[in-house]
Amino acid sequence: MTNKIVLRGKIAVKGLAEGSALVTNESIHFLGGVDYKTGVITIRNHELEGKSIAKKILIFPAQIGSTGEPMGLYFLIRTGKNPRAILCSTRGQMPVVSSMVAGTPYLYNLDKDPVKIIKTGDHVKIDANRGIVEIIKRNEI
């Protein structure tokens, strides 16, 4: 039995993506906070330190950093270690610019906070052309 949840959000960057969720309650910055050769988060004492964002649906409250952030995501794309899509609780200028440069689907301001609804390992399907997120909850025993 699967538990499917549908959320709707605002579109920042259009596109389609699906995959396994990687969720954090902490902010992330791509330039200097993620090793672009491995996709591994290198931010000291971050709850996801040592975990890879490569090919994941990355879900976090907000991005931190400056105008170098698009370059960080671009480096990740060049090495194939980028996330498939980004969901944020709030819209910030740098994550939108980063996603636009990378062509990474990006939704924000969903009708429910994705950080609270989605858990790491859930299967997430994003239609950022229509602003829809489908979540299939992982089976928990």
Mean pLDDT, the chain, as a whole number?
87
**pLDDT at 141 (0 to 100):** 43
pLDDT digit string, tens, across residues 44-81? 999 999 999 999 999 988 766 677 777 888 899 899 99
pLDDT digit string, tens, across residues 100-110? 777 789 888 89
Q: How far apart are CA 49 and CA 33, in angstroms?
A: 9
- For range 36-41, the mean pLDDT: 96
- Residues marked active site are found at 66
| Sequence-ordered strand ranges (E) for 2-105 | 4-8, 10-13, 16-23, 57-60, 85-88
For the chain, domains (ranges, CATH) are 4-136 (3.50.30.10)
